[in-house]
Amino acid sequence: MSNDGSLVSTVSGNVAVLKSQNYVNDKAADELASECTKLSTDGVQHFIVNMQDSKMVNSIGIAIVIEMIEDAIEGGGSLSFCCVSATIAKTFQIMGLRQLSSIYETEDEAVNSVG
Amino acid sequence: MADKPNVDLTIPMMPDMELTAITVAESLGVFIGLDTEKIDEVKMALIEACINAFEHSKSSERRINLNFQISDRGMVISISDGGQGFDLQEALERIEEKRNKGEKRGWGLTLMSELMDEVEVDSSEEGTLVKMTKYR
């Protein structure tokens, strides 16, 4: 379960789509968080994490992702998800993440929701 | 299925070594015909169980032992560490306190309970044994 590959998929105005890695552990989540921080200094406020390639997460990684969501909200923006597997969505639900963030079926839906 | 076949696995306490454990869980889940979603739930719970053992057991052996038992009913996974054990009730209370203060960690036991059908925790000074069951 390798975690290689670029994180940023597209940036359009103040919206960025990032691709999360195969296993969202603390290391992968930290990398996502760093990327979001970098993008926010470039004016990005809304982040969409496409989880199409993510097969597994762990609670430490999700804890970091929750902090990312809170940072995005604090910056006047949002962080949402798309293409999330049923089990990862259930894990998000259990950890209360869905109270802070939305999950969309497709990337297009997620992007359109920000506009 | 004859006689509840089982698989034993020992993994070192190293980063991402939980992925080795879930590979076995996935293979066995496919073998007994668990659906994809149930297999994913087993894998997620097993990740949490392994990470809990890695982080909290204080085991000097630096490894955990897993046993996967399969049957027509489903899969039972036992995870044991040779660590120092803990008081489950105290741990749950501590987690609740931290969560009330906004702490985002400490979800391992909750996730295991929600994703598996049964979870038993037995802990003493000789270590902790977590037994998780997923029915077909």
For residue B102, what pLDDT is reported? Answer: 83
Does the distance separating the beta carbons of B44 and A60 come in below 8 Å?
no
Domain boundaries, chain B: 6-135
> What's domain B6-135's superfamily in CATH?
Histidine kinase-like ATPase, C-terminal domain (3.30.565.10)
Q: Which ranges of chain A have pLDDT less than 50?
A: none
For residue A4, what pLDDT is reported? Answer: 62
For residue A5, what pLDDT is reported? Answer: 62
pTM: predicted TM-score of the whole model, two decimal places: 0.94
CA distance A55 to A62: 14
At A81, list the tokens. 């998800």
For residue A115, what pLDDT is reported? Answer: 64
For residue B95, what pLDDT is reported? Answer: 87
Does the distance separating the beta carbons of B43 and A59 come in below 8 Å?
no
Residue by residue, what is the 3-state secondary structure of chain B?
CCCCCEEEEEEECCCCCHHHHHHHHHHHHHHCCCCHHHHHHHHHHHHHHHHHHHHHCCCCCCEEEEEEEECCCEEEEEEEECCCCCCHHHHHHHHHHHHHCCCCCCCHHHHHHHHCCEEEEEEECCEEEEEEEEEC
For residue A107, what pLDDT is reported? Answer: 97
In a 10 Å sphere around its CB, with 0-12 CB exposed, 13-18 middle and 19+ buried, how is residue A11 labelled? middle
At B59, list the tokens. 């085991």
Per-residue pLDDT of chain B (136 residues; tens, 9 = 90+): 557 799 999 999 999 999 999 999 999 999 999 999 999 999 999 999 999 999 988 888 899 999 999 998 999 999 999 888 888 888 888 888 988 888 888 899 999 999 999 999 999 988 999 999 999 9
Does the distance separating the beta carbons of A67 and B19 come in below 8 Å?
no
Domains located in chain A, CATH noted? 9-114 (3.30.750.24)
CA distance A4 to A13: 26
Residues of A in contact with B108 (CB under 8 A): 59
Q: Does B114 touch chain A (CB under 8 A)?
A: yes
At B39, list the tokens. 């297999």
Does the distance separating the beta carbons of A87 and B107 come in below 8 Å?
no
